[in-house]
Amino acid sequence: MRLILAIMLVLNFSAAQAATPAAWKALDTAARAGCGREIVRLASKAKVSGVAGKVSGIGEAKDSDRYYALILDGKTADFKSQWLCLYDKRSKQATAREIEEN
C-alpha cells in the first residue's frame, strides 16, 4: 500500500509544484481536521498522533486531482493504529479506514 502511494506521489510531483505553499497548508489543515473527525466517528477511542505520509493528485484520468490522501498514526484504546484517509477536495468530505497489518 505504501509503495503504491509513494509511486503516486512521485508521478504527481510536478502538479504539486503549481500550488502555493499557503494553498497546500490550507488543504493539509482541512484534510487533517476532516480525517480526524472521520476516524473518531469510526472509533470513538481513537487518537491521531501524526501524519506518516501524504499523496496528492489521486483520481481517475479525467479527474486526476480530486483527492488528497493521508496516512495517519495513532492509537485506539491504547493499541497502535494506522489509518488511510482520502479527503475529497471538492466535497470537503473525508473517508477513512484502519490499515490492518498482516
Q: Is position 42 within any domain?
A: yes
pLDDT of 46 strictly over 60: yes
So what's the pLDDT on residue 28?
94
So what's the pLDDT on residue 64?
72
Question: What letters, b where the CB count within 10 A reaches 16 and e where it falls short, cover 75-85?
Answer: ebeeeebbbbb
Q: Is position 18 within any domain?
A: no
Distance, in Å, from the CA atom of 22 to the CA atom of 28, rounded to the nearest integer, reads: 10
pLDDT of 82 strictly over 90: yes
Q: Which residues pair with 94 in a beta bridge?
A: 87
Rounded alpha-carbon distances, angstroms, from residue 56 to 40, 47, 68, 75, 81: 23, 24, 5, 25, 22
Residue numbers of the domain that contains 90: 2-13+24-98
Structural domain count, the chain: 1
Q: Is position 19 within any domain?
A: no
pLDDT of 59 strictly over 90: no
So what's the pLDDT on residue 89?
92
